[in-house]
Chain A
Amino acid sequence: MPIRFKALSHIYNKDMPYAHKALDHIDLDIREGVITAVIGETGSGKSTLVEHLNALLLPDEGSLEILDYEIKANEKQRFLKPLRKDVGLVFQFSEYQLFEETVLKDVAFGPMNFGYSKEEALKRAAEALKKVKVSEDHFDVSPLELSGGQKRRVAIAGILACDPKIIVLDEPTAGLDPKGSKEIIDLFVSLSRSEGKTLIIVSHDNEMVYNYTDDTVVLSHGKIVYHGPTDELFADKEKLKEFNMLEPQIVTFRNELIEKGFVLSREARTLEQIASEIAKQVKR
């Protein structure tokens, strides 16, 4: 069952002279089990959109169906906790959520809130920390003493330890160095591919979006202007121009190769894939 937005609107500062419609009648089906990117300019409503997914924000009009839950406008929510357990949200600069005395305790905080016993929560925390490659020497350190990149990993482990079915990432790599960003994205992509988790990534980074995501949603002024396969969007020069987006370097490179006479498919999205397609042609 997809995640389904039905004519969903959200208005900030309703009833005030400066009310602002952040989402305007959104109709959207997000596929389960794949990676979807949400992109758009600052203020286009990306964060507002994803904060509806675990009912941090409630719709002012319309409704949202996600897993077995339905969130309707003007209705009191009864299933907040199970919904928030099943839909994990990793915020921008998520390291600011750390507060416990030790790294392990902080990661176990989520599972304990969702009703796991202390032993079970600590076990899950240790597993999640291993997944994000935080070594055991750091388990008993205060999270506030870690480096920025390490803090981010601990914060992400805090969400993974709750074992969500859907993971939503709001700019997960903002402020990280290129190597750190790549590691974190690789981690989530492998999680999605191996465990079939639905992944929704809000991002500004077109290269990352192009390299890793299956579908892309483009938002502009609270409306959806594109929803479809990522490779189709980035192959369409006119659309990119219309949305004020830069072509990923690898696409430019591929197009130049095609101009020089190589036959390359749209599926060749990484250097390795391009190289192997060329290798096949050279052999012939």
Chain B
Amino acid sequence: MSNLVFGKYIPIDSLMHKLDPRAKLIGLFLMIAAVFVPKSWWIFLLIALLLSIALLLAKIGIRMIVQSFKPMIMMMIFLLVINSLTVRTGDILFTIGTFAVYKDAILNTMFVIVRLLLMISITTLLTATTNPLDLTLGIEWLLTPLKVIHFPAHEVAMMVSIALRFIPTIIEETMRIMNAQKSRGVDFENGKLSEKISAILSLIVPLFSVAFERAYELADAMEARGYVPGAERTRYHVLKFRFLDFLFMFICTAILAVSILSRFYL
């Protein structure tokens, strides 16, 4: 479970880590839009190049990015098969028996796969370089305009940040309970169905009781420190846009602009 890469924060220091979470969030949206607009390989190459520079600046190894692709492999194969079966335009590329595979099928699949890979890399870049708590601050800031229509932006952000905060804790508890049950002879990997069910039960029941206990304790601790939902609050960490953040958002906007223009001129 600890080798789960997608969405994991890497606590090191780099230029990308220093950027304002709001700038990174806005950048993420701009870049994802930029990935979905163009139909030219040159633009994909450009985005991939700039992304590699950003990953380099974030000190994220290629290995980690490649690992985050792994869960998508099945989906890519599925896409390739479905596209080969359904797309019947363009030149015939090759035939298997009497079945012809068309050029557009492969091309379409490649487009989707490249877009997916770029999107995953962009998201990994964001989550790996942004502390989850900063990320929720950023989300809250982005949701603030919705307060006009009585959307509980702060409460939603608080819930998200509590959930994020407790993911590692719950993973830790899970590992601990798994270890305790393994020591009592539970085999989580092999065994008959009935044994598997009993193995899962021996994990789920204690996990639920721990989670509820944690929730009660947290609620008490928050109330003891005067937390009132919806009350006006001041912040210890005040987010501030700096020159680099503007530069970063400008670059992302420029990429989006180029990719939109490419639809008309390339």
Contacts and interface: CB of A to CB of B under 8 A. Distances in A.
A78 B150 CA distance: 60
B60 to A, nearest CB: 8
A84 B206 contact: no
Describe B's contact surface by its main secondary structure: helix
Given A13-B2, A56-B183, A89-B179, 19 more contacts: A12-B2, A16-B10, A17-B10, A18-B11, A18-B12, A51-B179, A56-B182, A85-B185, A91-B176, A91-B183, A94-B180, A97-B177, A97-B206, A99-B205, A113-B184, A113-B185, A114-B185, A144-B209, A159-B183
11 contacts: A16-B10, A17-B60, A17-B61, A89-B179, A91-B180, A97-B180, A97-B181, A98-B206, A99-B201, A110-B184, A114-B185
Instruction: Please list the 3 inter-chain residue pairs (A to B) with the smallest Cβ-Cβ separation, ordered nearest first.
Output: A113-B185, A99-B205, A110-B184
Given A15-B63, A17-B12, A162 B179 contact: no
A88 to B, nearest CB: 7
Interface residues of B, number: 27
Contacts, number: 69
A96 B185 contact: no
Contacts of A85: 185
A54 interface: yes
Contact of A88 (B59, B61, B181, B183): B183
Given A13-B2, A17-B12, A91-B180, A99 B206 contact: yes
B100 interface: no
Interface of B: 2, 10-12, 59-61, 63-64, 173, 176-177, 179-187, 201-202, 205-206, 209-210
B4 to A, nearest CB: 12
B203 to A, nearest CB: 8
Nearest to A82: B185
Interface residues of A, number: 30
Interface of A: 12-13, 15-18, 51, 54, 56, 80-81, 84-85, 88-89, 91-92, 94, 96-99, 109-110, 113-114, 144, 158-159, 162
Contacts of B202: 97, 99, 109
Given A13-B2, A98-B206, A84 B182 contact: yes
